[in-house]
């Protein structure tokens, strides 16, 4: 069944229970509201920028937006882009789009003006809903974007080239519009990360969205008494579909703005959060703050916190071992997935398998996995090959891109581009991205293995291993290393630590610098290769 039915059910069964909280402990300014909005969303004057809505209000707001879109001729098959930071309006708008039969198209809030135009035209977007932080980027191409499209602004002081969300929905019906939809109808377009160029548009049916929601609730045993803390951006499949476990369970969730260690622990404490999804950098920051004594666990109410899980990137086993020293009673899970597989969970460790930290896990609920060679044949157990997944959350296609679709979708199997191996118990270990494998002197070198090793050095906060051009070897390994705050480190120390690695895996070059990560925590290796690859090679050539 389409996921909107869960929202309707929750509004009927627990209308007055809190569904969503928007919390920004680092922002003390109150947003100006219309009186109509103020009646529905009461700010808590005793806390810095805290708002909440119940399930009935959530559903009513979704219905109002849906009925407004339908009144403007937007319906089944049309596309509605959402370009906003996390806020209390985000999910009701998303569900309002789904209720019309239109296709929701979340935009990455890091897109620049040209990327917004590119994605709007690639996905053939009919409506763009945007927040006040994006006025400048929309205005840059307003004439082009508004041609044949409805631009809707969420916030105060609506710009002249758009229409006001609050005014548009004010007098719309709060009743379900009653559009009949099935799991086979198209529901959403998500975009690839775009770290290697402009992003691809990924088309999913409603079946994918429902699968992700049900799988999340099952994997993490989400119940009515749970409270999920959501920090990553809702445009990303990971954040949204982890939250959908709360939708299925009819339980509260908190949208937190802010990633400082004290901000996260205070939110867990104040809102009594039980499930927290962290990205690797945030978990590292919390541990580093605890190590330094900047945070003290006894200052917070954390006994209800039962599960910490991580996804979106390889997770260093050393990090989880450190985590369990501070939080020995926590359940832990890691989730693997792609936007092409409706986000996280097609492979997951499972909360009972902490002994297997380092693995990404086993096939998720209703998923199958294979590891294959370059010819598509399954490799022997323990050998490295490309991970392929198959299940009800696989994308329909790359929208308007049949060549790329054919390259990664074969007989229902999604070829992920990730290199992996499977142990004798069936647990899958991610080795590296296929495109990130370094070939040096004829040897395949997997950067993740070296990164996991270097992270064990107590002065290292983060590390990314990339391949740089080398005349003799073809490529050489370079380790870009970010040192912990307040510490110093030398290349000689890193070289000495890496003597425990086989000679061919030892970094040939060490670069001390910050590690760039995108909004979902993935290391932006293309940026590092561009920064330290061609420029350094040219510099070397000109001095010889």
| Long-range contact pairs involving 323-326 (C-beta distance under 8 Å, separation at least 24) | 323/283, 323/287, 324/354, 326/287, 326/290, 326/297
447 pLDDT higher than 50: yes
Q: What 3-state DSSP class applies to 489?
A: coil
Query: What is the average per-residue pLDDT within 139-159?
Result: 95
Find the DSSP H helices in 331-475: 402-408, 447-454
Q: How many contiguous H segments (helices) and E segments (strands) does the chain have?
A: 18, 27
pLDDT of residue 36: 39
The residue among 474 and 323 whose pLDDT is bigger is 323
| 203-252 tens-digit pLDDT | 999 999 999 999 999 999 999 999 999 999 999 898 999 999 999 999 99
User: Would you place residue 314 in the very low, low, confident or very high pLDDT band (cuts 50, 70, 90)?
Assistant: low
Picking from 363, 373, 308, the residue whose alpha carbon sits closest to that of residue 337 is: 363
200 pLDDT higher than 50: yes
Say if residues 196 and 526 touch (Cβ distance below 8 Å): yes
Least confident of 141-145, 179-183, 468-472: 468-472
CATH 3.40.50.12780 in the chain is located at 4-230
| 49-84 tens-digit pLDDT | 899 999 999 999 999 999 999 999 999 999 999 999
541 pLDDT higher than 70: no
Q: Using CA atoms, how far apart are residues 487 and 461, in angstroms rounded to an integer? A: 10
> Crossing angle for the helix pair 90-100 and 55-71, nearest 10 degrees?
50
434 pLDDT higher than 90: no
> Tokens for 132?
């006040």
CA-based radius of gyration for the chain:
24
35 pLDDT higher than 60: no
User: Would you place residue 197 in the very low, low, confident or very high pLDDT band (cuts 50, 70, 90)?
Assistant: low
| 366-420 tens-digit pLDDT | 999 999 998 999 999 999 999 999 999 999 999 999 999 999 999 999 999 888 9
pLDDT of residue 41: 44
Query: What is the average per-residue pLDDT within 419-443?
Result: 82
User: Would you place residue 467 in the very low, low, confident or very high pLDDT band (cuts 50, 70, 90)?
Assistant: confident
Query: What is the average per-residue pLDDT within 308-326?
Result: 85
Q: Using CA atoms, how far apart are residues 17 and 274, in angstroms rounded to an integer? A: 17
> Tokens for 512?
């001390």
109 pLDDT higher than 50: yes
Residue 268, CA distances (Å) to 60, 159, 164, 294, 487 in order:
28, 37, 34, 17, 29
141 pLDDT higher than 90: yes
Picking from 237, 461, 246, the residue whose alpha carbon sits closest to that of residue 335 is: 237
341 pLDDT higher than 60: yes
Residue 405, CA distances (Å) to 200, 360, 376, 387, 535 in order:
10, 25, 16, 17, 34
Q: How far apart are the first and last CA of the chain?
A: 66
Say if residues 233 and 223 touch (Cβ distance below 8 Å): no
How many CB atoms are closer than 10 A to CB 263? 18
pLDDT of residue 313: 66
Query: What is the average per-residue pLDDT within 83-110?
Result: 96
The residue among 470 and 385 whose pLDDT is bigger is 385
Query: What is the average per-residue pLDDT within 121-147?
Result: 96
Say if residues 18 and 224 touch (Cβ distance below 8 Å): no
DSSP string, 31-69: PP--HHHHHHS---TTSTTEEEEEHHHHHHHHHHHHHHH
User: Would you place residue 117 in the very low, low, confident or very high pLDDT band (cuts 50, 70, 90)?
Assistant: very high
Q: In the CATH hierarchy, which top-level class contains the domain 438-542?
A: alpha beta
Say if residues 253 and 21 touch (Cβ distance below 8 Å): yes
Q: What percent of the chain has pLDDT over 70?
A: 90
Q: What percent of the chain has pLDDT over 90?
A: 71
pLDDT of residue 522: 73
> Tokens for 408?
């990664």
User: Would you place residue 280 in the very low, low, confident or very high pLDDT band (cuts 50, 70, 90)?
Assistant: confident
DSSP string, 340-364: GGTEEEEEE--TT-GGGBTB-BEE-
The residue among 312 and 444 whose pLDDT is bigger is 444
Q: In the CATH hierarchy, which top-level class contains the domain 4-230?
A: alpha beta
Say if residues 191 and 200 touch (Cβ distance below 8 Å): yes
User: Would you place residue 432 in the very low, low, confident or very high pLDDT band (cuts 50, 70, 90)?
Assistant: low
Say if residues 264 and 276 touch (Cβ distance below 8 Å): yes
pLDDT of residue 526: 78
Q: Using CA atoms, how far apart are residues 39 and 60, in angstroms rounded to an integer? A: 13
pLDDT of residue 524: 81
How many CB atoms are closer than 10 A to CB 405? 18
Query: What is the average per-residue pLDDT within 84-106?
Result: 97
353 pLDDT higher than 60: yes
CATH 3.30.300.30 in the chain is located at 438-542
Mean pLDDT of the chain: 89
> Tokens for 411?
């007989």
């Amino acid at each position: 069944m389409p996921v909107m039915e869960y929202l309707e059910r929750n509004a009927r069964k627990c209308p007055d229970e809190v569904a969503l909280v928007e919390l920004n402990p680092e922002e003390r300014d109150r947003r100006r509201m219309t009186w109509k909005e103020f009646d529905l969303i009461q700010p808590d004057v005793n806390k810095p920028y805290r708002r909440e809505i119940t399930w009935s209000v959530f559903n009513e707001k979704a219905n109002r937006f849906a009925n407004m879109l339908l009144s403007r001729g937007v319906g089944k098959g049309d596309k509605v882009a959402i370009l906003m930071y996390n806020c209390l309006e985000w999910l009701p708008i998303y569900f309002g789009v789904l209720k019309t039969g239109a296709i929701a198209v979340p935009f990455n809030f890091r897109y620049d003006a040209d990327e917004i135009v590119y994605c709007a035209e690639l996905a053939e977007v009919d409506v763009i809903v945007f927040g006040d932080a994006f006025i400048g980027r929309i205005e840059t191409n307003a004439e082009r974007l508004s041609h044949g499209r409805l631009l809707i602004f969420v916030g105060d002081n609506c710009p002249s080239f758009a229409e006001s969300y609050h005014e548009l929905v004010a007098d719309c019906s709060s009743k379900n519009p009653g559009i009949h939809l099935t799991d086979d109808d198209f529901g959403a377009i998500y975009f690839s990360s775009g770290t290697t160029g402009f992003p691809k548009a990924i088309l999913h049916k409603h079946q994918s969205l429902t699968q992700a929601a049900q799988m999340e609730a099952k994997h993490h045993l989400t119940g009515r008494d749970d409270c999920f803390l959501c920090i990553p951006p809702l445009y990303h499949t990971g954040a949204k579909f982890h939250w959908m476990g709360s939708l299925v369970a009819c339980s509260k969730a908190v949208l937190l703005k802010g990633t400082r260690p004290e901000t996260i622990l205070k939110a867990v404490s104040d809102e009594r959060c039980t499930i927290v999804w962290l990205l690797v950098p945030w978990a590292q920051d919390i541990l580093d703050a605890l190590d330094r004594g900047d945070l003290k666990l006894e200052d917070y109410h954390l006994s209800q916190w039962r599960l910490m899980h991580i996804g979106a990137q390889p997770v260093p086993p050393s990090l989880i071992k450190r985590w369990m020293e501070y939080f020995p009673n926590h359940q832990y899970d890691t989730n693997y997935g792609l936007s092409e597989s409706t986000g996280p969970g097609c492979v997951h460790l499972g909360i009972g398998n902490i002994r297997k930290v380092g693995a990404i896990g086993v096939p998720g609920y209703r998923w199958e996995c294979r590891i294959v060679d370059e010819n598509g044949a399954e490799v022997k157990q323990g050998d490295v090959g490309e991970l392929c997944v198959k299940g009800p959350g696989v994308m329909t296609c790359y929208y308007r891109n049949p060549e790329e679709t054919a390259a990664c979708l074969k007989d229902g199997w999604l070829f992920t581009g990730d290199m992996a191996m499977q142990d004798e118990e069936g647990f899958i270990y991610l080795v590296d991205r296929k495109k990130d494998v370094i070939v040096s002197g004829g040897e395949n070198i997997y950067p993740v293995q070296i990164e996991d090793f270097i992270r064990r050095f107590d002065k290292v906060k983060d590390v990314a291993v990339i391949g740089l051009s080398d005349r003799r070897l073809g490529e050489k390994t370079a380790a870009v290393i970010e040192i912990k705050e307040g510490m110093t480190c030398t290349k000689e120390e890193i070289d000495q630590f890496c003597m425990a690695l086989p000679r061919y895996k030892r970094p040939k070059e060490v670069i001390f610098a910050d590690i760039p990560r995108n909004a979902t925590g993935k290391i932006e290796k293309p940026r590092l290769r561009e920064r330290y690859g061609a420029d350094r090679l040219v510099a070397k050539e000109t001095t010889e």
